[in-house]
Structure 1
Amino acid sequence: MSHPTPYPVRLADEITRQLGQLADHLSQLPPPQAAQVIARILDPDNGVLGGVTHLVATGSVFAKNLAERGALPAEVWLALGRASNELGDITLDLDEHKDTLQRATAAAKPPAPAPLVVRRHR
């Protein structure tokens, strides 16, 4: 008898599938919309990259606990810790470009409508 797949595993699979869809959509967007999507993905607090960084950091803590009990090789914990640190550094590096991405996003907004009738004073 097979065991049902736990919800967190199904959730991880679904997120992976949706990330693939997002990449497919991103590759087809016009540049202004692509800049808007990229800005949201790279947002260090609420974006995908920040979420993945947090997820890897959480995994590193879990792996440390397992390694301390001898249930996991210490190398796995160390690798997750390095990955977490590297992702954190990448997030900080990309955060420096947040203003540039926001300007590109702002440029993507349609201009305000201009009045078409000019009144003349006689």
Structure 2
Amino acid sequence: MVVGRRDGRRELSSEELERDMERDTPFRRFRQRLQGRREAARQQPEPADEPQLCEHLVAAPARDVGSPSTCEEHTDEDGPVVHLRTCLACGYVGCCDSSRGRHATTHFEKEGHPVMQSAEPGESWRWCYVHELLG
């Protein structure tokens, strides 16, 4: 069946389209390139399920940090504490970057302790400030 187009050009019938695909046409070359890319993508190694950890995260495994109730340096002028983080080097408890005080980051900048762990209930993720990696 041949179908007309609004621009006055005629569309190919399914038989004509099939013949075009078999000949050496730009469409066929495009399909071949696309097929080659799909095959190459299938041969790529699967991404590892385990995240890559830096030496700081390897050296500071997640542990029970308890349930701290407040940031050690937070004042009334800092506003509310959003989330708490615990330094895995010394146990310092600071507020996250969503809190105005940003005391966990300030602790890293002052002390150089690279890894903080979330102190929120049910969370055990860690953050390496040096490499900006989640572990």
- TM-score normalised by length of structure 1: 0.25
Q: Computing the radius of gyration over CA atoms, which structure comes out larger, 1 or 2?
A: 2
Going by fraction, where is helix more abundant, 1 or 2?
1
- TM-score normalised by length of structure 2: 0.23
